[in-house]
Structure 1
Amino acid sequence: MSQTTPTPEPTPETLAAPSLEHICDLAVTIAPPVEVGHTPSGLRRMIPITGGVVRGPRLNGRVLPGGADFQLIVGQGTQAHLDARYVIELDDGSRVFVQNTALRVTSAEDALRIMRGEPVNPAAVYFRCQPRLESSAPEWAWLAESQYVGTGRRAPDGVFLSFYRVT
C-alpha cells in the first residue's frame, strides 16, 4: 500500500484592486410613481421613465421614454431595492439596453421625503448601482464585455447617475 503525500492548500493572495473608468453621466426624467402597495415582500412601486440625457467621455445620447424603475421598499422604508430597465439611444443612432440594479439606503425621515418627492441631502443617502449594458451594434459590443458600477442621486423630478467601467 502506498501512501500519498497530501497536497498543500493554496495560500490566498491579495490581488490588485480594480480601477474605475468614468463612461457617462445620466439625468433621467421620471413620471409620478405607480403604487402597487404593500405585498408580502415589502412596498412595491413602479416609477415610469420618461426620458433623459446621457453625457460622458465614452457614451453620449438620450434615454428613450418607456422604461421603468421597479422598486421594493423594505426595512421600515429605509432600504430601496431598485431594478430599472430602459434604452439609451446614442448620438450615432445605436441603441443600448440598460438593466440597472441598485440599493438606496437612508434614514426613515429622509425615506419619507423621497417618497413624497421632496429634496433630500445626497450626503444622507447611500445610492450605489450595478448597470448592465448591451447593444446589437458591433462598435458598441465592448459594453457587454465589462462590468460597471455607479453612484446615484434621487431628485424630486428625476434621477442622476454616474456609470464607471471596472477595469
Structure 2
Amino acid sequence: MSDHEPPILARRTLLLAGAGLAGAGLPLGGTAAAEGAPPEGALTDLPLVPPRTEFVYEAVVEIAPLVPLGDSPLGERRIVPITGGRFQGPRIRGTVLPGGADRQLVRKDGVRRLDALYEMQAEDGAILTVRNQVLIDPGRDGAPDYRFSTIEVTAPEGPHAWLNRLVLVGTLTSLRPAREAVLVRAFRLA
C-alpha cells in the first residue's frame, strides 16, 4: 500500500459513518444533534441510531390458575397452563392453541422470570411455535412494573416464514380481574 492511499479499514469506517449519518437523517457535513450524538462514554464517535419498533401482532392468551412447583435455590417455581386465546396483527391472525405453559421463577429479590412456550394457529392452518421470555421487575417507590420480553416465533416454510427472520420484543399486561388472560404485544426491531 502506498503512503497516499488510506487503509481499507479507514475507508470502511468513513463509509459506515456516512451511512449512519445519512440513515439518521443528519447532514453529512453538519454536526450531530443531541438525539443522534454518541452517548457519553461511548467507544466511538459514530452517531447513536436506536432501533425502531413496528407492531407485528397482539395475543390475548387465556390461562388457567397458577400451579406452585415449590422453592428452589434460585427462587419459587410455578407454572401457568395456557388454555387458548386469539391473536391478530396487520399480516396474520388466528388462535392460541391450548396445551402450552408459562414456567415462572420468582427470585428472592422479587423479580419474576417467565418462560412461556405455546403454539398459535394462523387462519390458513399454519402452526407457529412461540417462546416468550419475560422479565417482570415489580415497581419500587411508586414506579410502574418493568414488563418486557423477547419473543421467538418459529413458523413453517411458506406464507408465514417472514416471522423466522425477525427479532421480536414484547410487552405483557394482565387482563385480570376482567378475564383470566394476559395481553402479549409483539413488535419487530427495525
1:102 aligns to what SS in structure 2? strand
Identify the structure with bigger relative contact order (alpha carbons < 8 Å, sequence gap 6+): 1
Q: Partners in 1 of 2:162 and 2:86 — Cα distance?
A: 21
Asked if the contact 1:94/1:137 (under 8 Å) is kept, the reply is: no
Q: SS of 1:136's equivalent?
A: coil
> Is the 2:133–2:151 Cα contact (8 Å) retained in structure 1?
yes
Q: Given the two structures, how large is their TM-score scaled by the length of structure 1?
A: 0.80
RMSD: 2.3
Deviation at 1:128, TM superposition (A): 0.6
Which sections of structure 2, spanning at least 5 residues, go unmatched? 1-6, 14-42
Structure 1 position 107, deviation (Å): 4.5
Among 6, 14, 17, the alignment partner of 2:50 is 17
Q: 1:144 to 1:32 in 2, by over 3 A?
A: same
Scaled by the length of structure 2, the TM-score of the pair is 0.71
Distance 1:130 1:25 in 2: 14
Instruction: Name the residue aligned to 2:182.
Output: 159
Deviation of residue 58 (structure 1)? 2.2
Structure with higher Rg: it is 2
Within the alignment, does 1:127 sit opposite 2:147 as a pair? yes
Aligned to 2:122: 90
- Structure 1 unaligned residues grouped into runs of 5+: 1-6, 109-122
Superposition deviation, residue 15 in structure 1: 4.6
2:164 counterpart SS class? helix
- Which deviates the most, 123-132 or 21-30? 123-132
Specify the code of the residue in structure 1 equivalent to 2:120: I
Give aligned-pair identity as a percent: 34
Q: Does 1:80 align with 2:103?
A: no
Alpha-carbon distance in 1 for matches of 2:76, 2:158: 40
- For 1:161 and 1:95, the matched residues in 2 are separated by 18
1:150 corresponding residue in structure 2 = 170
SS at 2:49 equivalent: coil
Figure out how many residues of one structure are paired with residues of the other and give that number: 147
What residue is the counterpart of 2:63 in the other structure? 30
**Cα drift, residue 14 of structure 1:** 3.3
Aligned counterpart in structure 1 of residue 134 of structure 2, from 91, 97, 102: 102
